[in-house]
Amino acid sequence: MIRAFTLSVLLATTLSAQSPRIYNTIKTKLAAGKQVIGGTVLSSDPEIYCAMANSGFDFTWIEMQHSPLTFHEVAVMLRACKGSSAIPFIRVPDATEGDIQKAMDIGALGIIIPMVESVEKVKNAIKWANYPPIGKRSLGNGQYGVLWGADYRQTANANLAIVAMVESPAGVAIADQIAAIPGVDAVFVASTDLGSFSGLKQGDPQYEALVSKTRDAVLKAGRKVGGPVAWREREGYHFFQAGGEATLIKMGADKVLGGAVEPGMKKGVAPIEGAEHHEVKKP
């Protein structure tokens, strides 16, 4: 009896070691061929972050490249919204050792690498985001365990998602090499910057040729292709960036001012104050 129990424990331990717990739902959704959409976050207000993280987005695109957000502010935001449905992704200022490790330590499960024009930049990001033996991320202080569990050290690498951004013709030229790097989950086509750096506009044959070349190279490598949410209907795309808080507030205001009825309510019936925090029966 004791021997049988010991064998069962050993088997369970072995299976656990072979198959780490997966809590990054973006990894599982992409693996299943589903599309995922992230809402862009530029505000440091924890309440605004929680509203974005629980609004139905698959992930949050926390914008640290083009915003004054600090790592301390983002850490507070993530801690305040522990257990939210959206997985936190951070577009880091750069793929440096400091930026990558800080982003991981505060609880990001996805790293978005901006302005990729070299294979080395992506390899560096993967190196600093992964614990040994895959990478060289070191152990230190962080709130990752509070957010993701006591087994975080054993499961972190399996739950990490890396997204490389192609924003220029130079990036397009090496898209096949970027996508072939072990550890890359998706390659994102930055529509506006690609136009800015190429001098071309969306819809122009030359512009679309750059986009198609990137998409085809990424799909051939077995990775996922990303782009703006406006490209959701384009063939082969799975990872999308939606607008930020200001854009979504305006869209919501336009709907309300246009006579839209709040979810769960009947036309002509006012919502009950506090209903957003409690279960309220429909009138």
User: What are the chain's domains?
Assistant: 23-161+229-248 (3.20.20.60)
pLDDT of residue 172: 98
Q: Is 217 exposed, middle or buried (0-12, 13-18, 19+ CB in 10 A)?
A: buried
Q: What angle do CA 63, 65, 67 make, to 5 degrees?
A: 65
- Rounded distance, CA 249 to CA 262, Å? 14
- Rounded distance, CA 46 to CA 13, Å? 38
pLDDT of residue 130: 98
For residue 45, give the nearest of 26, 27, 68 by alpha carbon: 68
First to last CA, the chain: 60
pLDDT of residue 10: 41
The rounded radius of gyration (Å) of the Cα atoms in the chain is: 21
Q: What residues are paired with 90 via a beta bridge?
A: 62, 111
pLDDT of residue 258: 86
The DSSP letter of residue 136 is -
pLDDT of residue 274: 62
For residue 24, give the nearest of 60, 51, 52, 55 by alpha carbon: 60
Whether pTM exceeds 0.85: yes
Q: How many CB atoms lie within 10 A of CB 111?
A: 24
**Which residue ranges in the chain fall short of pLDDT 70?**
1-17, 261-265, 270-283
Phi, psi of 164 (to 5 degrees): -100, 135
Asked if omega into 182 is within 30° of 0 (cis), the reply is no
pLDDT of residue 159: 98
Q: What angle do CA 240, 252, 272 make, to 5 degrees?
A: 125
Q: Read off the pLDDT of residues 219-245 as tens digits, 9 standing for 90 and up.
A: 999 999 999 999 999 999 999 999 999
Q: Read off the pLDDT of residues 94-150 as tens digits, 9 standing for 90 and up.
A: 999 999 999 999 999 999 999 999 999 999 999 999 999 999 999 988 999 999 999
Q: What sign does the CA torsion over 65, 203, 252, 38 have?
A: negative
